[in-house]
Each structure stands twice: as structure tokens, then as C-alpha cells.
Structure 1
Amino acid sequence: MEITLSERITENLVRDSFRELGYYTAENGISIEEQKSEIVKIKKLLSKASKNNKGNKGYPEFIISNKLDHNFLIVFECKPDLKKHQSNNLDKPVDYAVDGVLHYAKFLSKDYIVLAVAVSGSTVSNLKISNYIFASNDGSYTELKNEHSQPVEQLLSFDDYYRLASFDPVVAKKRHEDLISFSRELHELIWTKAKVSEEDKPLLVSGTLIALMNNAFQKTYKALDSDDIQDAWLSAIKKELDKAEIPQGKKDTMIQPYTTIAVHPNLGRPDSKTAKEYPEGVFKEVIDSINDNVWPFINIYHDFDVVGQFYGEFLKYTGGDKKALGIVLTPKHIAELFSLIADVSKHDVVLDICAGTGGFLISAMQKMLRTAYTEQEILDIKKNKLIGIENSPKMFALAASNMILRGDGKANLHQGSCFDDAITDAIKKAKPTVGLLNPPYAQSKSDAELHELYFVKHMLDLLDVGGTGVAIIPMNCVISPHQAKHELLKHHTLKAVMSMPIELFYPVGAPTCIVVFEAHKPHQESNKKTWFGYWRDDGFMKTKHLGRIDLNGKWNEIKERWIEAYKNNEVHAGESVLNYVNADNEWVAEAYLDTDYSKITKDDFETVVRNYAVFKMLNEVS
């Protein structure tokens, strides 16, 4: 006679693990529901999830949610018999743990990122555990893996599960896409219901994120009256700034842009037009939305310029020509590429003289932290090794808030002109070894003193001897003759130039290139060839609602190939070349590359011949 072991035994073992791993700690915000759920969306998704296909509701043993991220769930399915862990075809959800948990997770993944956990066994010593991550709504999933790319075969704390799930490539991609979609929705809410100006919208986001860092505000803002919430919001920001070890003058500069929002008339008590839809006020709705959709992202993805993402998205709705305003924000993957080109580490001091929202500094900090081994090294990087300058007071506030949200780095942010003597004297004392730059683009040919190459030269002049400067500038800067090219090569060595994708800054159509210099070593004295890379295809594609994204997951492979070729000065026909250049030459790969005939197909040949024939015919007719 076969003995049927009770599933209650396995469930009790899982509960014991929950206690040991801190799931039942009151202040962690975790909710554990068993065999049911009071969450309306979950009940709806599982309304037809019966494992026996009878069309009624079905529930896994445990459903775990958390206040930190309402879009993330962990579900558990338990079986006492190890033989019932997984069927051969994963098609028996009633009888097998893996089959069952995948069944439920598939339904829930339509609206959630789901971590599915299957547990089998009747004693602590013989438990078998499988973990899977559902990242998209098409029902596809992968095994959950640890930092060493090994499958996770044990029960983890909620924080560890959340962290590993978040860094799954598919999850990270979906999180990013969700953030872009939300930024578009938030713009619509802020503009249509509150009429907040274009330049103040990103400040509303960054200020709210800082305010949410204040535990008292995060716990109480929902209960505040609409007349009081703006003052409480500003007070929370001030309290968080007071915790920062930065001079009072910088705090005052930073808080000033937020005071405008704190008295904005449409963010207080709702008027007759908004009272019905938002009876507690639009501001509380905005804070709620940011708390639910952005705050979880901030806590996980420390290498992402979230404030810059919103700034860039909001810019799309600004009237006028963004290029004419000199506003060209650097895409995240290019900021990451800069840190790889400069090969930054814990030993470097990184400078950005046109910091914007701080994207380069955030990317550099994350790469530097990966080379740190002690808490002292980590603290040193955050406190002493990131330097930024930003002229615009409002942009300075955004950059400083970005660094505060990352844990530090704001102490060495300067508000003012990068050409100011007092600021440059202070920076030289820090002896920066790496400069990263996306300068403001000149608005007209008459802006001789504001030519992009003069910003590049100034950055290099501030670096220590032998330092590496990396900048992204318009292509015409390296093609057209200019006095600045002579001044640059008189003092610094041009190591490399890479031609970037034409639509890199889409929707702004500004063809660009990356230039890499070695500081304070005259080009002629170096007597070295310059490496030119043809980096026109980064694998990103334009999409209707998300802009340019890595739609097919090609970027990592392309990035690694580019960096390897650059570091080793590799020469490949049609892709890269070495050449001696001077200030009068064109600094662009296209001028020196050899054609790679091995890649030319019959179709390419026929297209060229056909186009030439049409050209000849039209000219003869005319």
C-alpha cells in the first residue's frame, strides 16, 4: 500500500524557512497569503487558473507580495514526495510541484514579474527546490541564477530573491521599458492636471524621490491633508539634505528650485476641475505613482540615471528645437561605454565639467565600486572620487539629487560655469585622472568661444598628466577645420575617434563621434597613430513608444567587441583603422577605412549597378 504524504508537512517546512529568513518581520512590508489572495488583480488573473482545467479559481500554496514593489510576486507550490517534483513534459500541474507553480505563474505573469518556487520533500535535509523567473507577459520563463550564473537551488530571503530576479536580463529590460512607459504617463498627468512647467517637471520627480527617502514622510504622506502635503514634501527634502555632508551654500542652491514646486497652486487643494477625479489632490496622486513605479527601480538599479530618463522623456514634449537649445542627453548605454573606454577603477578620480543630470558620474561610480573590496574604498569613491560641474541651478539640483539617491557623490558637485577660476582651481587640487564629457552643442557658428572642442580642451587641461579624456561631440567638429583642433593637439594626444550611430540621440538628428585623448602629452611628440572605429551599428532600433532600444538583445555582444578592438588597437577592414593625423586632417574613420570586399554580396553589386544605370539615364535625358 502506497503511503500518501501530506502537503502540510512541506508547507510547514517552508513556513519555518520564512521565519528564519525574516519574511514574517513586521517592518519589512512583506505580505504572505496562503491558498488565497485578497489582492483584486491577483484574484482576477487566477479566476480561471484551476489546475484540473475545470475553469474555477486555483491558488498556489503561498503568494508573497511586498509594499516596495507592487509589480513583483513570489509564488510557491509544494509537494511532499520528491518523485513528484517535476514531470518529463511539465504538463501535470495537479501532481507535480514544478508543473503546478509554472502553471500559476503563467497566469500571473500577464500583469506581474513572477518568481516561481517549487519545493518538494518532507524533511529539511531532503528538500528539492527549483526557482524560475517570469519576466514578460508571454508566459516565457528562465531558471533563476545567482551572481556566478549558477541555478539557485535553495530558498532565499525576499531581498535576495528580489535582487537576483531584478538583474535577470529580461527582467531588467522589462523594468526599463516599464519606466519609459510610466514616464510618458506621468508627463500626461503632471501636464494635463497640474500644468507644471516643462523645466519643473523633472524637479517634481527628483524632489519626490528624495522626499520618499525620509521614512516619516513615506509613512505619513497618504494621511496628510491636501493643504499640508506640499510643505511636508519640501520639509522632507530639507531633512534629507541636512543629512548630507555638504556645505550649506550648496544645500541652499539645491533647495531653491524645489521651493517653486512647494507653492505651485495646482498641486495643493484640488479645484473644481480635478476634485472629482483626485479628491485628495493631484500632488498626492503624483507621489503615489512615483512611490509605486519609480522608487523600487531606484533601490535596485543603481547604474541607471533615472532622473535623466524622466528629463529626456519630458523634453520630447517641449516646444521648439531641442538641438537649438543645446540639450542633448547621453543615452545610458553610451554613458556605460564611456566608463569602459576610460577603464575607470577605484584608483581614478572622475570629472564631468558639464554634468547635466549626472549620468556619466553614476555610470563611472558603479564601475569603480565593482573594483572596490572594502567599506573604506567604497566610501572613498563616493566621497572623494566623483567631481561634477553644472552651470544651470535647476540641472544642478537634478544632478545632486541623482547622486544622493545613489548614496553619495554630491559633495564634489559644483554649481557654476566650468570656466570659473575658483571652481577650476578647486578641481585641479583633486588631480582628476579621467574626464567624461557631453558638452553643450553650439547654437550657431558665431559661438566661437563656446565651440564644443573648447569644452573638450578645458576638460583635458584640468586632468592630471597622462589622464584619459573621453567626449562625445558633433561629427562636424572633427571634420571641419578649426583653430581648436590645433590647440588641442598642441597639448594633448588624440588616441581614438569612433563614428557613432546617426540616430544615437533620436529624436534629435545630430551625427556624433566619440573622441579619446591622453592629457598633457602633445600629439606630435607622442608620434603615435590614432585609432579610428566605425561604430555606426549599436544594435539599437527605433520603436514607436520607447525610442531607441536594444530590441533584439545585441548590445552586450557589440559592446564587448568594440571595447576589445579599441583596447588592442585592432585593425579590421570596414570597421577600424590606424592612421597618422594632424590638426588639418579629418578625424573620422570614414576618411581612412578600407572597404571590406568580403562582405559585399551579389545583391549589393546589383543595387549599385542599377542605381548607376538610372543615374546615367536621367542625366542623358536632361
Structure 2
Amino acid sequence: MAKGTNERITENIVRDTLRNLGYYEPNNGITIEEQKSEIAKVKALLSKSSKNQKGNSGYPEFIISNKLDPNFLIVFECKPDTKKHASFKLDKPVDFAVDGAIHYAKHLSEKYTVLAIAISGTTLDSLKISNYIFPSENTPYKELVNEHGHQVTEILPFEDYYRLSSFDPEVAKKRHSDLISFSRELHEFIWAKAKVSEEDKPLLVSGTLIALMNNSFQKTYSSLNSDDIQEAWINAIKKELNKAEIPQGKKDTMIQPYTAIAVHPNLGKPDTKTAIEYPDGVFKELIDRINENVWPFISIYHDFDVVGQFYGEFLKYTAGDKKALGIVLTPKHIAELFSLIANVHKDDIVLDICAGTGGFLISAMQHMLKTAVTEEERLDIKKNRLIGIENSPKMFALAASNMILRGDGKANLHQGSCFDEAITASIKKSKPTVGMLNPPYSQSKSDAELHELYFVKHMLDLLQKGATGIAIIPMNCVISPHLAKQELLNKHTLKAVMTMPIELFYPVGAPTCIVVFEAHTPHLKAHKKTWFGYWREDGYMKTKHLGRIDLNNKWSSIRDRWIESYRNNEIHPGESVSAHVTADDEWVAEAYLETDYSTITKNDFEKVVRDYAVFKMLNEVN
């Protein structure tokens, strides 16, 4: 049925508004389609979306897609009469703007995050505008709100729509879930088609992300043949590194791990068998997948250790006992917790002497940037206030790439032993105010293997007086007698110890705790009790394919309660307690908590017994 003249007026108003907001600017990566789509996935999803329920195709007035994030769509549905803006039950898509926008968005949300916009009226002054976000097919839609929680009732520039939609909690949660699923799929693809070694897989991902930062490479790689793409890839990485204000020696150290990938035979010209499935080669297919699934994510969610996520996923598939690797990556929500415990701000200088993929530094940077007011302060944080050390050259490359992808911070990354005297001297000059640490977890506790507490002590020694040092370490470090405990207390004050969930590092079994110290004030001279928190339940649950996730959205409230309790030294029965401790004591909440036995049930008792049995099995005390 032909559209009425008045509806064309509404469409013209929308089109003019979009033009004024820059949607039609050339080379901006935005595509606007009207009452049709050439996107195969969109056509398939709308093939039976007719509003009159006849089973035919139906299309909204405008469909907006973009190159930055192919999984995000904006749709507009227009009506001339403001009285036809929305029905009472929102179930009349033929006659009402909101109903129609929701109708189409529901179909598209099976594969996309969709922003549905309903417009009614024939003059700018009379327009009614409603904006709805559809995070996914299985998540209820909601009205779009701005940073202050107010409903959006106007048409916004694309960048604002994308930002507000991306940071919707449900959208962010879905994107995180999608990234985890993709990391597993990518592992399978690399393993089956490229035969790249386990330790080189995360380098393949991080190097590709850096290469995609290069505009020339991103625009031209799809047209390159399989003989040239590896050289173009490594050259793009070198160009991005050359833009960085860092010493040439560090650039050389970082580029070295990527050079082997650049000549890997399985990523070059495909053999006869591979060419049938991937005529342009496996490498181009891999870059395409990362460009579509990871690049949009990393360009928006700056607080997420994307490279660490892939490293952790790939680590699951290494041969042998994963725990024996001594590598335990810190979950994102725990990195966030460290920044809140330290209460980092724009004037802090944050140090991580075992940086890994840079998760602590990334989290700290985001929290510090929130307290910055000027662009000068933001640049100062990125350039001068994040310091990391990583011993492994390949891991150093991952950490450096992680920081580069967030706009800086790599200038103060050091490759080498954290006990190296030259590195130590350089860091002391910076006078760090906060230390964050997840040290290598030793296994045998032999003389040849450095105890985790000596890493903690070394970190604290590098901080300035009064600084806060935080570490997450195996539980047996604070229970078992050890000379390092006395050495720590001789120079530093043990402020707090928090018992963490037993399966925090699932699937690696490592019962842990967080220790918080005040640097360079001897424990006895401080004359302070140590605060102990029993933080066993973080709301995360194990799932079959995604590991431990915040399935029921409990983490934010649990986190806020923990932090408030810690900052105020609150005492709650069964949850927290304060006690004077020495090096001979157990530094663990369970040793000092008082239990209200009148509230204990049979289930509580059985759970404690199970937890203790698991603890003993995974963490034997010699």
C-alpha cells in the first residue's frame, strides 16, 4: 500500500535531521538504507516481518549500519499523526510508530544489537521521538537513557547513539559474552586451519589488532593476495609502533615476537586443500573475523583486557597440567576491585611488577581517567602514571599491544626481571603510589623457586612511603609459617586480608586471598589491627561454555558492599573482623571470625565441609 503524503513529510524531516547530524557524510563508514536492505542477514531476518502478518518481507523507513560495528543497527519507523505514536499495548505495528519500530527490532535482535527509533509528527516542533535499545533476542528491550539516566527524546549523532547503546549494562554484558564465545571459536579455527603454536596464538590476535589500527592496512588488506598479506601485516605493526614515543630498543623487543608469525608458512599462500575453502588464504580469513568481532569491541570497551581474554582462553588448551604453568590471569572484575580498594585517582602512579597482559594497568587507567578533568591530565595519566614490568618477551609484547590499543601507557613498560637492578632504579625514581600484583604462583615451594611473598615484598619496597600495595596470592602463603611474613612486617603494615572465592580462577584450582599493605611503615610501629574480610561469594557462577560469569547480575551490589565495608573498617558477624596479628599468626578471616551458631542450618554446615574438603585438596599446607 502506498504511503500517504503526510508520512513522506515525516520521513523528509528525519532524513534532513540525519543529514544535519553528519550521517550522510562521505567516508564516515555509515550506510543508510530506506525501506530495503542489501545486507543478507538483515534480509533474512526481515523475510517474514510484514506488519500485516501475511508472512511477507517488511522494512522500516530507515536502516542504518556501520563499518565500525557490523553487529549494531539503528532502525526508524515513522508516522505522521502524533496520536498514532504508540498504542496502549504496543501491539499494533501497522498503525503506530513505536509498535512498528519494536516489531522490526524484535526480528533483527536475533542477530544484532538494535536501536529502534519511533518518530511521529509532520513539523519539527510537533515531533514525538522514542528511542529503544534491544540488547539481544533474549533480553527485554528498554528505553534508551543518557549518562544521567534521563530518557532520550531526540535524534542524536551516530557516535552518541553508539556510545549510549554500547554502555547499556545488558548490551555490554552481551558483548562480553559474545567475545568470550568468539575467542573459543577463534581458537578452534587457528588450531584446525593455521596450526599456529599455543603461545603464538594470542600474539596473532594482538598483532592483528595493532595492524588494524593502521588505516591504510584496514582499508586495503582485503584486496591483497595471500603472498603479500603477511608482509603488509608486519609493516602495519611497525608503522603503528613507530608512531609511539618509546625508545627504539623497546620497539625492537616488542616487534620480535611478531616477526615469526609474519613468515609462518600456514598463514601464507594456501595449499590446494585449503584454497578450496579459503581461496585468499587462512590469514585473510582470520583478519576478517578479528576485524568483525573484536575490533568494534576494543574500540569501545577500554576497560576490558581483550588480549588477556584471548590469552586465557587459549591457555585452556595447552598440553599438560595448566596449573604447572605458574600463570594465573586475573579476572576482570578482580582487576576492577583492586582499583577500588586503592581508590586510584589522576594523581596516582600505579605499578605492576608482573604485568602479564596488562589487566591491572588497564583497569587502573580507566578509573584514573574518570577523575581527570582536562585533556592534559588524561594525557599525563596515559604517558606517565602507569608502570609495568614483564619478564617474558612474548607476554611483554601482549601487554604493550594492550596499552597501545588504549592510546598510550606503553612507554613505561619494562621487559625483564622485576628484580633487575637497572629496572628497579628507574622505577624508584618515579615514586609509585599504588602497587598491584598477581605474582607467579610457585608449585613446589623449593629453594630454587621464589616464594610469592617475596614478590609482594619487592613490590612494596619499590613504592614510596605511605603507598598502598595490593596483591592476590595463594591462600597457603598467609596460613603457613614463612620467613617472608616476618620480613614483610618488619618494613610494612598489613592493613587487610580478604578471603576470595575458592573457584575464582576456574578452571585452575588456586584458593586465593587479597592482601593490602601500607608501604614503609613497620607493622608493629603502626599499632593497628588488620581488617579481615570473608569475600567468598562474588555472585559469579560456573557455566558450561563461558566459565565463571555474573549470570544473575549480582556482582555490582556485592562489590559495592565489599568496598564500603573495607574502606570504613566495618565489622559484620560472619563477614568481617579486625585483629592484631604477627608473622606467626594466620592471616586469614576464618581464624578470627565469630559465628552466630543459632543461624546455622544443615545446608550451611554441609557447604562448609565441602568447601573445606576442596580447600584441603587444592591447597595442602605442608
Q: Which range, TM-score by smaller chain?
A: over 0.9
Q: Does the CA contact (< 8 Å) of 1:325 and 1:443 recur in 2?
A: no
- TM-score, normalised with respect to structure 2: 0.96
Whichever residue aligns with residue 393 of structure 1, its letter is: P
Task: Report the more deviating stretch, 368-377 or 268-277.
Answer: 268-277
Q: Does the CA contact (< 8 Å) of 2:139 and 2:170 recur in 1?
A: no
Q: Does the CA contact (< 8 Å) of 1:129 and 1:154 recur in 2?
A: yes
What are the equivalent positions in structure 2 for 1:105-184 lying under 5 Å apart? 105-138=105-138, 140-184=140-184
After superposition, the C-alpha distances for 1:348-371 in whole angstroms (9 at most, x for unaligned) are 000000000000000000000000
Specify whether residues 91 and 139 from structure 1 end up closer, same or farther in structure 2 by C-alpha distance, changes over 3 A only: farther
* Deviation for aligned residue 1:138: 2.5
2:315 corresponds to which residue?
A: 315
Whichever residue aligns with residue 9 of structure 1, its letter is: I
Q: Does the CA contact (< 8 Å) of 1:233 and 1:262 recur in 2?
A: yes
* Deviation for aligned residue 1:606: 10
After superposition, the C-alpha distances for 1:368-427 in whole angstroms (9 at most, x for unaligned) are 000000011001000000000000000000000000000000000000000000000000
* Secondary structure of residue in 2 paired with 1:156: coil
Specify whether residues 74 and 447 from structure 1 end up closer, same or farther in structure 2 by C-alpha distance, changes over 3 A only: farther
Q: Does the CA contact (< 8 Å) of 1:497 and 1:514 recur in 2?
A: yes
Q: Give the Cα–Cα distance (whole angstroms) in 2 for the partners of residues 546 and 56 of structure 1.
A: 37
After superposition, the C-alpha distances for 1:462-506 in whole angstroms (9 at most, x for unaligned) are 000000000000000000000000000000000000000000000
Q: Does the CA contact (< 8 Å) of 2:491 and 2:522 recur in 1?
A: yes
Q: Is 1:339–2:331 an aligned residue pair?
A: no
Whichever residue aligns with residue 252 of structure 1, its letter is: D
1:569 corresponds to which residue?
A: 569
1:417 corresponds to which residue?
A: 417
Specify whether residues 216 and 598 from structure 1 end up closer, same or farther in structure 2 by C-alpha distance, changes over 3 A only: farther
Whichever residue aligns with residue 590 of structure 1, its letter is: E
* Deviation for aligned residue 1:600: 2.7
Q: Does the CA contact (< 8 Å) of 2:442 and 2:449 recur in 1?
A: no
Q: Give the Cα–Cα distance (whole angstroms) in 2 for the partners of residues 596 and 156 of structure 1.
A: 55
- How many aligned positions are there? 606
1:508 corresponds to which residue?
A: 508
- TM-score, normalised with respect to structure 1: 0.96
Whichever residue aligns with residue 460 of structure 1, its letter is: L
After superposition, the C-alpha distances for 1:589-609 in whole angstroms (9 at most, x for unaligned) are 000001134643476589999
Q: Give the Cα–Cα distance (whole angstroms) in 1 for the partners of residues 297 and 553 of structure 2.
A: 21
Q: Does the CA contact (< 8 Å) of 2:354 and 2:390 recur in 1?
A: yes
Q: Give the Cα–Cα distance (whole angstroms) in 1 for the partners of residues 87 and 306 of structure 2.
A: 43
* Deviation for aligned residue 1:176: 0.3
Specify whether residues 169 and 139 from structure 1 end up closer, same or farther in structure 2 by C-alpha distance, changes over 3 A only: closer
* Deviation for aligned residue 1:325: 1.1
After superposition, the C-alpha distances for 1:258-310 in whole angstroms (9 at most, x for unaligned) are 00000000000001221110111000000000000000001100000000000
Specify whether residues 590 and 62 from structure 1 end up closer, same or farther in structure 2 by C-alpha distance, changes over 3 A only: same
Task: Report the more deviating stretch, 39-48 or 302-311.
Answer: 39-48
Q: Does the CA contact (< 8 Å) of 1:322 and 1:328 recur in 2?
A: no
After superposition, the C-alpha distances for 1:570-619 in whole angstroms (9 at most, x for unaligned) are 0000000001000000000000001134643476589999xxxxxxxxxx
Task: Report the more deviating stretch, 360-369 or 49-58.
Answer: 49-58
Q: Does the CA contact (< 8 Å) of 1:202 and 1:310 recur in 2?
A: yes
Q: Give the Cα–Cα distance (whole angstroms) in 2 for the partners of residues 151 and 333 of structure 1.
A: 29
2:329 corresponds to which residue?
A: 329
* Deviation for aligned residue 1:151: 1.1
1:620 corresponds to which residue?
A: none
Q: Does the CA contact (< 8 Å) of 1:73 and 1:115 recur in 2?
A: yes
Task: Report the more deviating stretch, 491-500 or 313-322.
Answer: 313-322
1:480 corresponds to which residue?
A: 480
Task: Report the more deviating stretch, 317-326 or 397-406.
Answer: 317-326
Q: Does the CA contact (< 8 Å) of 2:79 and 2:96 recur in 1?
A: yes
* Secondary structure of residue in 1 paired with 2:490: helix
1:553 corresponds to which residue?
A: 553
2:613 corresponds to which residue?
A: none
Q: Is 1:390–2:390 an aligned residue pair?
A: yes
Q: Give the Cα–Cα distance (whole angstroms) in 2 for the partners of residues 513 and 392 of structure 1.
A: 25
1:617 corresponds to which residue?
A: none
After superposition, the C-alpha distances for 1:50-97 in whole angstroms (9 at most, x for unaligned) are 111111111100001011111110000011111111111111111111
Q: Give the Cα–Cα distance (whole angstroms) in 2 for the partners of residues 207 and 367 of structure 1.
A: 26
After superposition, the C-alpha distances for 1:230-256 in whole angstroms (9 at most, x for unaligned) are 000000000000000000000000000
Q: Give the Cα–Cα distance (whole angstroms) in 1 for the partners of residues 465 and 239 of structure 2.
A: 41
* Secondary structure of residue in 1 paired with 2:471: strand
1:592 corresponds to which residue?
A: 592
Whichever residue aligns with residue 92 of structure 1, its letter is: K
Task: Report the more deviating stretch, 320-329 or 250-259.
Answer: 320-329
Q: Give the Cα–Cα distance (whole angstroms) in 2 for the partners of residues 304 and 108 of structure 1.
A: 27
Q: Give the Cα–Cα distance (whole angstroms) in 2 for the partners of residues 77 and 271 of structure 1.
A: 49
Task: Report the more deviating stretch, 170-179 or 119-128.
Answer: 119-128
Q: Is 1:25–2:32 an aligned residue pair?
A: no
Q: Give the Cα–Cα distance (whole angstroms) in 2 for the partners of residues 77 and 601 of structure 1.
A: 56
Q: Give the Cα–Cα distance (whole angstroms) in 1 for the partners of residues 72 and 392 of structure 2.
A: 38
Whichever residue aligns with residue 113 of structure 2, its letter is: I
After superposition, the C-alpha distances for 1:140-199 in whole angstroms (9 at most, x for unaligned) are 201111111111111111111111100000000000000000001111111110100000
Identical positions, percent: 80
Whichever residue aligns with residue 409 of structure 1, its letter is: G
2:432 corresponds to which residue?
A: 432
Q: Does the CA contact (< 8 Å) of 1:206 and 1:307 recur in 2?
A: yes
2:580 corresponds to which residue?
A: 580
* Deviation for aligned residue 1:29: 0.8
After superposition, the C-alpha distances for 1:559-580 in whole angstroms (9 at most, x for unaligned) are 0000000000000000000010
Q: Give the Cα–Cα distance (whole angstroms) in 2 for the partners of residues 539 and 486 of structure 1.
A: 35
* Secondary structure of residue in 2 paired with 1:170: helix
Q: Does the CA contact (< 8 Å) of 1:209 and 1:290 recur in 2?
A: yes
Q: Give the Cα–Cα distance (whole angstroms) in 1 for the partners of residues 383 and 42 of structure 2.
A: 44
Q: Give the Cα–Cα distance (whole angstroms) in 2 for the partners of residues 607 and 247 of structure 1.
A: 55
Q: Give the Cα–Cα distance (whole angstroms) in 1 for the partners of residues 116 and 596 of structure 2.
A: 49
Flag as ranges the 4+ runs of structure 1 deviating above 6 A: 605-609
Q: Is 1:524–2:504 an aligned residue pair?
A: no
2:290 corresponds to which residue?
A: 290
* Secondary structure of residue in 2 paired with 1:443: coil
